[in-house]
Chain A
Amino acid sequence: QKEVEQNSGPLSVPEGAIASLNCTYSDRGSQSFFWYRQYSGKSPELIMFIYSNGDKEDGRFTAQLNKASQYVSLLIRDSQPSDSATYLCAVNSANFGNEKLTFGTGTRLTIIP
C-alpha cells in the first residue's frame, strides 16, 4: 500500500513568518513529488513539483526533497493571509509514465494577521 502522510493541522503561522509543511511517503520508488494548494470549495492548484534531491525555489515557495529519508517539504516565506488553505502533497510512484498520483490528506494552514 503506497502511502503519503501529512500532518492534518491546523497549522497556524503569524503573517510574515515562514510556514513549514511536511510530507512523508512510503514507496521508495517514487519519482516525482507535487505540492498543490486547495482553497475551501475550490479545486487544487499546482504550486510546484520536484523530482531531484535538494531544494527548488519558486518565489516565496521552496520545496525540499530528501529521497533517502522519504521526505518532502514545502516552505512558504513571508506568509500572507491569502496563503491560508489546505496544502496537498502528491507523489508519483514507480516510473515516469505511471501518471497516477497518490495524495496525502492535506495540511490545513492558517496565516494569522
Chain B
Amino acid sequence: GAVVSQHPSRVICKSGTSVKIECRSLDFQATTMFWYRQFPKQSLMLMATSNEGSKATYEQGVEKDKFLINHASLTLSTLTVTSAHPEDSSFYICSATSGDYTDTQYFGPGTRLTVL
C-alpha cells in the first residue's frame, strides 16, 4: 500500500517552454501532497504544500507564478514549471500523506528535469 507515482520520470525541454509533472496516489486518498526539489548532492527542499481543492502554500523564495500547482482531486496533483530555464534543471519529487495519525509522507519516484 501507499504507492505514489509520478509522470514523466524524465523530461528534457528547451528553455522557455513549460513542463507539467503529474503526481498520483495510487491506493489511497491523499489529503495533502508536497512538492520537493533536490539538486545534486543536496538535501530535499520543500517547494510547496497542496491540499485538494485549495491553493497551494509555497515556501519562502519559491515563485508561485513560475511553479504552478494544481491539486484537482484526492489522488492527483500537478506541478507545472513555466518558462523553464536551465537553472530549473533538477530532480522534482512529490510526496503524499493520507492524513492518518502518523502524517507519514510517501514519496513518488521523482522526475528529472533537464532544461537545455
Contact = CB atoms under 8 A, between A and B. Distances in A.
Contact of B49 (A41, A51, A92, A100): A100
Interface string A36-54: 1000011111100101000
B32 interface: yes
Interface stretch (B11-19, B68-76, B81-89, B103-111): B103-111
21 contacts: A36-B107, A42-B109, A43-B91, A43-B108, A43-B109, A43-B110, A44-B93, A46-B105, A46-B106, A49-B104, A88-B44, A92-B103, A96-B101, A96-B103, A97-B99, A99-B32, A99-B103, A99-B105, A101-B46, A101-B105, A105-B42
Interface residues of B, number: 21
Interface of A: 32, 34, 36, 41-46, 49, 51, 88, 90, 92, 96-101, 103-106
Contacts of A100: 34, 46, 49
B102 A51 contact: yes
Contacts, number: 53
Contacts of B46: 100-101
Nearest to A31: B103
Interface of B: 32, 34, 42-44, 46, 49, 91, 93, 97, 99, 101-110
Judged by DSSP, the binding face of B is loop
Contacts of A34: 104-105
Contacts of B105: 34, 46, 90, 99, 101
A104 B42 CA distance: 10
Contact of B44 (A44, A45, A98): A44
